[in-house]
Structure 1
Amino acid sequence: MDESGKGFLNSAEQKVFIFGGVILDRSNVYNALRDFKVVFQKHKQKLREIINQQIPHENGSQVKSDRIHNMFSEFELHAAYLFNPEREDVRKGNVIKENPWKFYPNEVRMELVNEVFKAIDPYIEKIYMFKIDRSSFTDFCNDINSKPTDILSYQLLIPNVLKEYDSWLETNGGTGVIIPDRLDSKIRELFVEFLQDKSLQNLWSEPITVESYTNAFTQIIDLITYCFYVVYTDAQHKQNYKAIKRVYFKYLGKHIEIKDLVKKLREDLEEE
């Protein structure tokens, strides 16, 4: 699982929070990893070669070597940087980590995305996109006399996420584990708390959180969630909007089921 739109209630740009997850059967994990790594290593090597050609030996070869080493330290397919190559890690006005994707031609970056989704497509069981639209969530909170906050959105969303996965596992006769990207402490505590629900018979009792650069599937769901966000919000101002839309409908759309939290919460209230 991976999220997009954290802080959506107070953001000028983000108007929806998304928690996306891809389901993979354990029998497909090896093949999915194998095929992903072929694409990953191919483009990592190609990117390194391009960077090596484009960075001059100004101020000595060690400076060049250090720059390249820094860019490839904890290298991953991170959508925020891959799709926005001008973005850098900046602290107090200083670039602390260059974005290597700024050296990669735009069309080749989109080839990479296309190849990743093509490689993983045969192994995807299901993709869930759990979403909270800011306007509908605010209206719902007003209706129940609660203040709309990020923590309340997590408190309402996470149990629904877990119930959905547990139900899927029950239907498909399996057991499973939630593997999110690194979580902040409050969200992790909520996952652990709600996973203790005795009705969740098919899920491991705590999430296995990972650093995204160490886990191929976390990088894959990060790319998927970003593409979904662009298409769902019709973000035509985003770079490569048309190319993202094409690859989304070619490989992802058929697997995706959207889960609207506020709609579910209102249905639950009506049943009560």
Structure 2
Amino acid sequence: MKNTETAIAIDNLSKRFNNDVVALQDVNLHIEPSDFLTLVGPSGCGKSTLLRIIAGLSDKSTGEIHWRDRTLKEQLAFVFQEPALMPWATVRDNVRLPLKLAGVSKQTADETIAKTLELVNLANFAKAYPRQLSGGMKMRVSIARALVTEPNILLMDEPFGALDDITRTNLNDELLSLWNQQRPTVVFVTHNIYEAVYLSKRVVVMAARPGRAIAEIPIDEPLPRTGAFRTSEAYLEYCREVSAALSQAMDSQPRSPVGFAG
């Protein structure tokens, strides 16, 4: 039975591909409004597949996804692993794309884009092209393009995985600042335990294929966080707890044919 305070309730969800690979099996996950939930797990355990199913980019095989109301599903944004920017378009026009597709007037769009570029510290690069940007700046553009519609649900699939540690740390801080200002419900995928603990209200550990949630670790520390949390004993203890659960997940034996599930 769905909790009325739950933004998204995933009940007994499974995904079997046409080649008989079982990517997900009986996944149960309740995501609260303004949650920041991170999924970690071995490569191929179905984290990205689950995100795509939530976004409606892939079909589930069995199970149910319940939304608190239809507007949540309609006000959803996805940040992929790669920025996927239009190389011929400026930063402003890349961020404009979802508003243009939604039929938003140019005047309203310009005001919203300017505000969003301020949020991601790119106001001075509105006329720049992707080739003129660093990897971290390109990812900021991708995040701005997702935030410009002020989504209620923000799905993020390893957005910082290809970045160096310093850039990644800075973007973690910026993401938490953005979350604190807009309070969307975030579902975040990463392979990085330290990133997961730093960002999240809850970390869900998924087991090896078929993917399923085997542990949930609440991170009971105030959000947004500061660098002081990264050096605290509490942070290290949370990282140890997630690491232990991840080791258990990696020891789980696959029960389906070998193949990549995402």
- TM class by shorter-chain length? under 0.3
TM-score (norm 2): 0.26
TM-score (norm 1): 0.25
